A and B are shown apart, each in its own frame.
Chain A
């Protein structure tokens, strides 16, 4: 089967840096994506890693190590609006069906 594990909750303060980890077990691998979801609204695409290494997009960066079946999302200069749920996800085969992780609820405190 396929599964992705994330910490359930993370708390940090404004201006800090936080890392959200994701470990996965998949049959075949086509890359790791990250999504942000506020209060049960629309999940919003943040980043995608197909190859090992770090991808940077503004305050957000995402890292992938395929040999370790591991990735993380790094959020810098945290803002209150970053309080949300974050999901890692992998394509379920060579299609754009997504398999989501368990989700991490990030609480940013003043």
Chain B
């Protein structure tokens, strides 16, 4: 049973470019959340997708957008990259029930130069 898988694991982009990160949730999970984790800090909630719709959003600008597909996989898109977007981007999957355990992927390391 595969856990949460993310791709790519590492990537380098230039300021102003756009990036797409991908996530496949744990088998049986229908809810996907994305987090940004800067070096030395805790993960910060970006948004959550359920039934192909954005259900909740954290305090991130509109440059951050996402999508969930019918198979529950998800993408995170970031436009007009800034140096400050350099971080580890974590995908988390769960069931919609708030008391269920949340599982994280290994993350995608994004470096903006």
Q: Which residues of A contact B (CB under 8 A)?
A: 30-31, 35, 40-45, 48, 50, 87, 89, 91-92, 94-103
- Tell whether A40 pairs with B107 under 8 Å between CB atoms, given A45-B102, A97-B48, A97-B56: yes
Q: Are B4 and A42 in contact (CB under 8 A)?
A: yes
Q: Which residues of B contact A (CB under 8 A)?
A: 4, 31, 33, 35, 37, 39-45, 48, 55-56, 58, 88, 90, 92, 94, 96-107, 109
Most chain B CB within a 10 A radius of its CB, from A30, A95, A102:
A95
Give the dominant DSSP class at A's interface.
loop
Given A50-B99, A97-B58, 8 more contacts at CB 8 Å?
A: A42-B104, A42-B105, A91-B98, A95-B48, A96-B96, A97-B56, A98-B33, A101-B42
Complex Cα distance A100/B33, Å?
14
Complex Cα distance A100/B43, Å?
6
- Tell whether A99 pairs with B107 under 8 Å between CB atoms, given A42-B90, A43-B90, A94-B98: no
